Chain A
Amino acid sequence: MSEKKHIDRIFQERLKGFEAIPDDAVWENIKSELEKEKDDDKLIPIWWRYAGVAALLLLFLSIGGLMFNNDANSEPEIKVVDSENTTSSGNSTLQNLSDDEKNSVDLNLDSNQNESLASEDKISPQSKQESNIDNTNKNLNNSAISVDIPNDVIDNETNIATTTSSNKDLNNEGLTNDNGVPKNIDNSIALDNKTNINQGVPSNSAAITSQKSDDNLPQDNTSAEDLQKIKSNKSLVDDSPIIVAQNDITEEEDELVNIASVDSLSIEEEIAKIEDLKNIIEEEKNLNRWSISPNVAPVYFNSLGNGSSIDEQFNQNSKTGEINMSYGVTGSYAINDKLVVRAGINKVNLGYNTNDILVFETTGKGPNSALLSNVSENKNDTHLSIVNARSVVLDQNSNIVNTSNVGSINQALGFVEIPIELQYNILNTKLGVNIIGGFSSFFLSENELRSEINGNSTLIGEANNVNDISYSANLGLGLNYSFSKSFNFNLEPIFKYQINTFNNVSGSFNPYFIGFYTGFSFKF
């Protein structure tokens, strides 16, 4: 007869040596799951590589963009200086003509123009025809060509004669050397075109339009004497380049028209070009301005600096960011083909882990069991105490603490994000590149702290220092591929630096997140 035993002991003793063997299939399943995990892990570094490339591109493009913009702005300024220099140089006729050209650097060109002006009355009928052309820059261009190439199209031979003679004269006078002449002219043309785009166009074109009307014809036929008068007037107001420019308008018109008459073939080409330009402008008008794009993004959250949003004692603990998801929809309006305004709404989850923490259970709520400074405890009949594992080890209390309870605190936050951004298109080809900048407002929707120990997740409570409304400054690079006029694929790595997310943090805890926003956009 056997003795009586406590039921617990029976189970403890009998099951002690018991070992069962699982099926071989279990290991195969584990292996395949681990393989899957590895593949997932590999995906993240690839994303990061893309992010690195994107960030570099962004850097280069923004520097390049800045330099390009600076160049464009600086050119007209140089021209103004040039025109003043030429204006102040001795010969009054040359001065005035250089004023006409405003930015012409080279004296040679001035003298050529001077000659054409002198003979202007003779070619005025032809100039009337040519005055149909709006773009005065192009006319100036032609004038330069006429200096070098004798043109059959021109009816008036005297014009050519005077032009060439003046060239000779100038060369003899040693103002420029022979080799320099064509080069200088070319340079001045280039400069003129640009300046006129920026400055001269309105007045020039106005002048030419006025010439179109027959009433103004007599003005075209002004005698050399009259011209001389106007020129002397101008020399009186030499000091003020602006006034000079205004006075010069009549002369300028004449000259431009005269110059335009030189090469009718190239003018036709110019007309074609202008029409092309008009077509482009038309196309722009028909641009699909509105677009809507649903997007999804893996987001990586972390903070800059050694701080903690949870409690001061964790300032020095290592923190690891988590990869979460953001999804939402963005609507945008294209102001022009370069600039796009966009706004949207996203649901974004962010989270990070504070490592090396120790969780143990306490009863009652004594002063020692007070929870973390920025955390409101979950209502539960068990009470958790959480301390920095490092400090416990230092206190040599490790004998009472099971070190295997060392784990991490996971802080998870969910927001509804409203981004408002500007997008500047750098490249508008099939594969487009753009820079995105703006800000977002965040409305807190989820707030949870959990302890993660040995794979076991326990709810601690919620952070009480997260603001209901916070903001972020956004900067990103957008890449898009257009499948058709109205259907694009977008990839936009965007860095978002969070502002005012927490109202009481220890140390320097500056949260940010990086999202790789992918999606399709539909233009309409």
Chain B
Amino acid sequence: MSLEQLIVKCKKNDTKAQGELYKLYKSKLFTLCLKYSRSHAEAQDNLQDAFVTIFKKISQFKNKGSFEGWIKRITINTALQCYRTKGVFSIVNEDILDETDWEVEDTDEISMDYLLQIIQELPDRYRLVFNLYVLDDYSHKEIANMLEISQGTSKSNLARAREILKKKIEVYKDEQKLQSL
């Protein structure tokens, strides 16, 4: 069954088609949720909410643009919505950092799990801004609009996120070096 047919059936609330669509996108969207969430459990909750929204709003999808892009946006919005309602957007330092050197030594030693872990450990807004800007290609303008913050705040949050991540990677590498000695 083609994706178009699957979408048509989902629009008619066909449970089987919904199951197929879920299978098709669950891992992609779950990865997305993992990056935007604090934990595995929270990511599963977000994934669940996102799919419910997708199936509820699928009739609004008019085949303009990519379906994957559409469901990714819904998933991201769901993740953001969860923080909007929790009201955690106003806790961070807004000062813009002077540092602009974001270069780090790249090694294969850094596992994917560790990278994901340090993203999840970021304060909520840093994590969201970093994900949106770096991993999902949103502009600061768009981020500012989505998170109801200013563009300056978005830039500052991104710098803070990078700083924390860079430090953690360096610490990780140092530990690796120590272990190998």
- Cβ of B126: which chain A residues have Cβ within 8 Å of it? none
Shortest A319–chain B CB gap in Å is 15
Whether the Cβ atoms of B135 and A11 lie closer than 8 Å is yes
Residues of A376-400 contacting chain B, CB below 8 A: 380-382, 384
Whether the Cβ atoms of A5 and B104 lie closer than 8 Å is yes
Chain A CB within 8 A of B6 CB: no
Chain A CB within 8 A of B110 CB: yes
Residues of A455-509 contacting chain B, CB below 8 A: 455-456, 458
Residues of A18-43 contacting chain B, CB below 8 A: 18-23, 25-27, 29-31, 33-34, 37-38
Chain B CB within 8 A of A407 CB: yes
Tell me which of A3, A10, A406 contacts B62 (CB under 8 A).
A406
- Cβ of B141: which chain A residues have Cβ within 8 Å of it? 361, 363, 382
Whether the Cβ atoms of B64 and A404 lie closer than 8 Å is yes
Q: Count A-side interface residues using an 8 Å CB cutoff.
A: 44
Shortest A5–chain B CB gap in Å is 4
- Cβ of B31: which chain A residues have Cβ within 8 Å of it? 15, 18-20
Residues of B11-46 contacting chain A, CB below 8 A: 13, 15, 18-19, 22, 26-28, 30-31, 34-35, 43-44
Chain A CB within 8 A of B115 CB: yes
Chain B CB within 8 A of A129 CB: no
Known: A12-B134, A34-B15. Is A456-B26 also a contact (CB below 8 A)? no
Chain B CB within 8 A of A368 CB: no
CA distance A12 to B44 in the complex (A): 22
Chain B CB within 8 A of A229 CB: no
CA distance A456 to B138 in the complex (A): 15
Known: A7-B169, A37-B56. Is A15-B73 also a contact (CB below 8 A)? no
CA distance A87 to B95 in the complex (A): 108
Chain B CB within 8 A of A152 CB: no
Residues of B41-68 contacting chain A, CB below 8 A: 43-44, 47-48, 51-53, 55-57, 60, 62, 64-65
Shortest B69–chain A CB gap in Å is 6
Whether the Cβ atoms of A406 and B64 lie closer than 8 Å is yes
Max chain B Cβ within 10 angstroms of own Cβ: one of A3, A8, A11, A15: A11
Shortest B60–chain A CB gap in Å is 7
Smallest CB gap from A362: residue in B:
B141
Whether the Cβ atoms of B106 and A2 lie closer than 8 Å is yes
- Cβ of B43: which chain A residues have Cβ within 8 Å of it? 22
Chain B CB within 8 A of A4 CB: yes
Chain A CB within 8 A of B91 CB: no
Whether the Cβ atoms of A15 and B115 lie closer than 8 Å is yes
- Cβ of B112: which chain A residues have Cβ within 8 Å of it? 14-15, 18
Smallest CB gap from B18: residue in A:
A34
Smallest CB gap from B65: residue in A:
A404
Whether the Cβ atoms of B103 and A2 lie closer than 8 Å is no
Chain B CB within 8 A of A70 CB: no
Smallest CB gap from A25: residue in B:
B44
Known: A34-B15, A454-B77. Is A27-B22 also a contact (CB below 8 A)? yes
Tell me which of B13, B62, B162 contacts A7 (CB under 8 A).
B162
Whether the Cβ atoms of B44 and A33 lie closer than 8 Å is no
- Cβ of A406: which chain B residues have Cβ within 8 Å of it? 62, 64
- Cβ of B116: which chain A residues have Cβ within 8 Å of it? 15, 18
Tell me which of B44, B60, B150 contacts A381 (CB under 8 A).
B150
Whether the Cβ atoms of A26 and B44 lie closer than 8 Å is yes
CA distance A381 to B43 in the complex (A): 31
Shortest B139–chain A CB gap in Å is 9
Chain B CB within 8 A of A240 CB: no
CA distance A22 to B169 in the complex (A): 27
Binding site for B on A (CB under 8 A): 2-12, 14-15, 18-23, 25-27, 29-31, 33-34, 37-38, 361, 363, 380-382, 384, 402-404, 406-407, 454-456, 458
Binding site for A on B (CB under 8 A): 13, 15, 18-19, 22, 26-28, 30-31, 34-35, 43-44, 47-48, 51-53, 55-57, 60, 62, 64-65, 69-70, 73-74, 77-78, 80-81, 102-108, 110, 112, 115-116, 119, 134-135, 141-142, 144-146, 148, 150, 162, 165-166, 169
Given contacts A7-B102, A37-B56, list 4 more A-B pairs with CB under 8 A. Answer: A4-B105, A10-B115, A382-B150, A404-B65
Q: Could you list 12 A-B pairs, sorted by A, with CB under 8 Å? A: A8-B162, A10-B106, A11-B134, A14-B115, A21-B30, A37-B52, A361-B142, A380-B148, A381-B150, A454-B70, A454-B77, A456-B146
In the A-B complex, the 4 residue pairs with the smallest Cβ-Cβ separation, listed nearest first, are A403-B64, A456-B77, A19-B27, A5-B106
